[in-house]
Amino acid sequence: MSSKTQASLCPSFFNFQKTSILKLNNQMVAVSVGTDEEKKVFLIHKELITRYYPQIFGSIKMDETAAQPKGVFEEDPEAFVGLLEWAYHGKLLSSANSIDTLWKLYAFAEKNVLIHLHDILMNRIVSYYKNSNSPSFPTLEQFQFGYRNTRKNSRARLFLAKCYISISNVHNPNFRNRSTYSNEELAYMVISIDGLMLDVLNLTRRRGWIYNLDWDPCQSNPCLYHHHAPDADCPQYRERSS
């Protein structure tokens, strides 16, 4: 076993777990997360799985026959850290700084129907592209990941399709300065990403609707990318402020 693999299998326990807003007992579970190549082990409070967040961590395969309970969680380790941050503190901490981690968390939330996390993560994702040091659009890899790991009619797909339309609008200098895509790359995207071209056409060719090509998808009302119906009151899911 390589030194890198050995290090990754040493259980991780974070400072933020010591300052949780939850009242937790001392019983811990060593959870192996990820595939064999990227597997990492985390120590987490058992009550987090069984009492507080079974909807998030319920898919952990538990083995309580050993001296210390163990579990297996077949998700990305980086996303798992984000889930721990959310579970222990009700908000994202360092995970919010990585757009790739935010996409992984959104995919997990959608797959597990975590509605409150849907909205919060879409707020985070859109805000990242809007407020980064240099406002940008998703990369090819993020388009691919987003479509590969979300369902049809996903709010994430709506955002990505609108971004594609803006990227293609070379006549708007605001969009042109935020994009480095070539025509060949844009063509490759709609050929290689299943569902993207149909979403773009449904937006731009919708009967009785004129799509504003100069409309910035990152400047929209956040509710556009939330799970609720357009005419429904927004539940306004929020992260904890402290």
| Per-residue pLDDT tens over the stretch 102-153 | 999 999 999 999 999 999 999 999 999 998 767 789 999 999 999 999 999 9
235's tokens: 């539940």
Given a cut of 80, whether residue 21 has pLDDT beyond it is yes
Q: Under a CB-based contact definition with an 8 Å cutoff, are residues 157 and 150 in contact?
A: yes
12's tokens: 């991780």
- Closest by Cα among 146, 184, 147 to 168: 184
**pTM of structure:** 0.90
Confidence of residue 66 (pLDDT cuts 50, 70, 90): confident
Residue 171 CA, distance from chain mean position? 31
Return the half-sphere exposure (C-beta side, CA atoms, 13 A cut-off) of residue 103.
21
Res 242: pLDDT: 64
Confidence of residue 3 (pLDDT cuts 50, 70, 90): very low
Handedness of CA 218, 221, 224, 228 (dihedral sign): positive
The whole-number average pLDDT for the span 199-215 is 85
Q: What percent of the chain has pLDDT over 90?
A: 63
Confidence of residue 9 (pLDDT cuts 50, 70, 90): low
pLDDT by residue (tens digit) across 74-93? 899 999 999 999 999 999 99
Given a cut of 60, whether residue 207 has pLDDT beyond it is yes
Res 7: pLDDT: 44
Helix %, strand %, coil % of the chain (to 5): 50, 10, 40
**Sequence-distant (≥ 6) Cβ neighbours of residue 29 within 8 angstroms:** 43, 44, 45, 46, 49, 60, 62, 68, 69, 70, 71
